[in-house]
Amino acid sequence: MIELGQLEANHAEFDSKNVRIVVVSLESREDAAKTHEEFPHLTAVADKDRQLIVAAGALHPHAAPDGGDAAAPTTVLIDRTGVVRWVFRPDRYLGRISPDDLLAAVVRELH
């Protein structure tokens, strides 16, 4: 949630570059709606069926502390035509990209 707060706090910079932040998680639609309420400048998508997460290669079966599946933190930049231009997946599960590093990737890869 810290990462989402940082992205929310920097939403004006992303907006100025015409970038939309979409958060995809294994949560239910209700939980995704709560996430969107907390972070209104981000789009939260529920992927309870895991179709997007599997397509992105980000599902780690049985990796959650309770033995359930977990989604690896993954950041994907997709251009206007739907082409994946850049992927960030940290070496550590708790690793996250900073808003500054993400903005640098946006400038480098999409502009």
Q: What is the pLDDT of residue 33?
A: 94
pLDDT of 52-107, one tens digit each? 989 888 888 888 889 988 888 888 999 999 999 999 987 666 678 899 999 999 99
If one counts every other C-beta atom within 10 angstroms of the C-beta of residue 6, the result is 15
List domains and CATH numbers for the chain.
2-110 (3.40.30.10)
50: amino acid identity, one letter: R
The pTM of the full predicted model, rounded to 2 decimals, is: 0.80
> Could you tell me the two tokens for 54?
């599997």
Longest Cα separation, the chain: 42
pLDDT at position 77, please? 93
CB 42 within 8 A of CB 23: yes
Q: What is the SS3 string spanning 4-42?
A: HHHHHHCHHHHHHCCCCCEEEECCCHHHHHHHHHHCCCC
**pLDDT per residue as tens digits for the range 12-25:** 999 999 999 999 98
Sign of the alpha-carbon dihedral angle for 27, 5, 101, 17: positive
Per the CB < 8 A criterion, the answer to whether 4 and 35 are in contact is yes
